[in-house]
Amino acid sequence: MDYEKIFLEKVSEKKTIVAIVGLGYVGLPLALSFAEAGYQVIGMDVDGEKVKKIGRRESYIGHISKDRLKNSAALFSATTDFQLAREADAIIICVPTPLTRHQEPDLSFVEGTVESLLPHFKEGQLLSLESTTYPGTTSEVLKPPLEAKGFNIGRNFFLVYSPEREDPANPDFKTQTIPKVLGGVTPSCTRVGLALYSQVVAKMVPVSSPEAAELTKLLENIYRAVNIGLVNELKLVADSMNLDIHEVINAAATKPFGFTPFYPGPGIGGHCIPIDPFYLTWKARAFGIHTRFIELAGEINSSMPRYVVDKLIKALNERGLPLKGSKVLLLGMAYKKNVEDMRESPSLEVLRLLLEAEAKVDYSDPHVPELPPTRRATYNLKSIPLTQDNIASYDAVVMLTNHKSFDHDLIGKNSKLLIDTRGAFPLGPTVVKA
């Protein structure tokens, strides 16, 4: 039986059923994109609350509108029952790939997902992994159990790696318009994968293997991590020289060639940039390679929350106040502006350091009404409204995430001391750059 031909015909006739496992910041937009393109989509997640919200057509991701969910109701359903994978022609895995406490790859979500799906795989299906991981994962972790079950990869089962490239809340790019890299275990796998994804993505970028696609994703995020580490280090240099690093970067950015601006902050956050470099350094050690440049950037970025707190301590001391017992208001707990995503947010580390020093800490973030439990701690804190009296009641205000909805004029005029980690305010008697 020519399974490739059958799959391609079903795709062209929009008869392909797509199952997407993991309905977070990657999986949900992808599921909606396939439904909007006319394909039946089965969303799968172990989180029953997400499944219930999708059933009620309620969005739990800020930049995903309720209207998109309502308009997709006829083609998009969600379930916690992985047995429904047997109904699908294509299965796409979009689950987290965090780090262990020892900063090593944690593939437990990927492995657990494959284990749950394995009894329900059938001949002719396509399996695609989108979770960020080290080169070799698709061939070393996903391929062996499929072959052990009797599948002949490239003939009666298709396996590809196609990394996600989501940028939540970016108005200029969405799932359909971001070019998508894909590498199949065999040429047949690549053809099948390209045929499916090209129905929802404007430009596909095939590469020679899953390993090439896996390394491509790591390169993209390591590129950002290293350059952010560079400007964070330059921020320390500029600060020691009483120079504004943001002024310097903006001036350099006027060069029309050979320079890409990156901006410093209180650290790096999100699921990708703080984590992905460790996936490559771990894998590189198996080949006897020490990725010193990448690891140094990671050390610099990881040190920035401490730098912010040290700047706060110094500024308070100059005003005759100790950090212990001082009232501090943190602005922004999400890892980037205009989203509710708190994964690996440096704001959480700043919060932890301040509480450890016995400061009295509150926060304000319109996208995070209350702090959910994290892997490290549970905080019983809720976002406070920004009013003139509220702001003025704090010994210090720390700008960590510069959300568009923050009233900068209100904050600037009423803060006794403002620690600015994002270059959001002009220098002044009450403003300290950090």
pLDDT of residue 207: 98
Q: Give residue 159's pLDDT band: very low, low, confident or very high (50, 70, 90).
A: very high
Q: For residue range 241-297, what is the model confidence (pLDDT) as tens digits? A: 999 999 999 999 999 999 999 999 999 988 788 888 889 999 999 899 999 999 999
pLDDT of residue 170: 79
What stretch of H or E contains 108? helix 108-117
Of residues 318, 225, 333, the one with CA closest to residue 275: 225
Q: What is the pTM for the complete model shown?
A: 0.92
Token digits of residue 126:
């396509």
List helix spans (H) across 286-335.
Answer: 292-318
Of residues 138, 165, 142, the one with CA closest to residue 30: 165
List helix spans (H) across 241-291.
Answer: 245-252, 276-285
Which backbone phi and psi does 208 adopt, to 5 degrees?
-75, -20
* 266: amino acid identity, one letter: P
pLDDT of residue 102: 82
List helix spans (H) across 253-291.
Answer: 276-285
pLDDT of residue 173: 85
Query: What does the alpha-carbon distance between residue 174 and residue 177 come to, in Å, rounded to a whole number?
Result: 5
Residue range 103-124: mean pLDDT, rounded: 95
Q: Give residue 101's pLDDT band: very low, low, confident or very high (50, 70, 90).
A: confident
What stretch of H or E contains 105? none
Examine the residue annotation and report whether 272 is marked as an active-site residue of this protein.
Answer: yes
What string of DSSP letters covers 32-89? HHHHHTT-EEEEE-S-HHHHHHHHTT---STTS-HHHHHHTTTTEEEES-GGGGGG-S
pLDDT of residue 273: 83
What stretch of H or E contains 212? helix 210-240
Query: What does the alpha-carbon distance between residue 64 and residue 42 come to, in Å, rounded to a whole number?
Result: 18
Residue range 62-69: mean pLDDT, rounded: 92
pLDDT of residue 376 exceeding 80: no
Higher-confidence position of 271 and 14: 14
Residue range 220-249: mean pLDDT, rounded: 95
For residue 158, the cross-strand partners are: 126
Given a contact cutoff of 8 angstroms between Cβ atoms, the answer to whether 146 and 157 are in contact is yes
Q: For residue range 339-363, what is the model confidence (pLDDT) as tens digits? A: 999 989 999 999 999 999 999 999 9
Q: For residue range 282-320, what is the model confidence (pLDDT) as tens digits? A: 999 989 999 999 999 999 999 999 999 999 999 999 999
CA within 13 Å, CB half, 219? 8
Kindly give, in sequence order, each residue whose CB lies less than 8 Å from that of residue 121, ignoring residues fewer than 6 positions away. 85, 86, 91, 127, 146, 149, 151, 157
Domains in the chain, CATH or no CATH each: 3-210 (3.40.50.720), 232-433 (3.40.50.720)
The catalytic residue among 32, 245, 272, 308 is 272
Residue range 205-226: mean pLDDT, rounded: 97
pLDDT of residue 166 exceeding 90: no
pLDDT of residue 423: 93
* 393: amino acid identity, one letter: S
Mean per-residue pLDDT over the chain, rounded: 95
User: What DSSP character marks residue 371?
Assistant: P
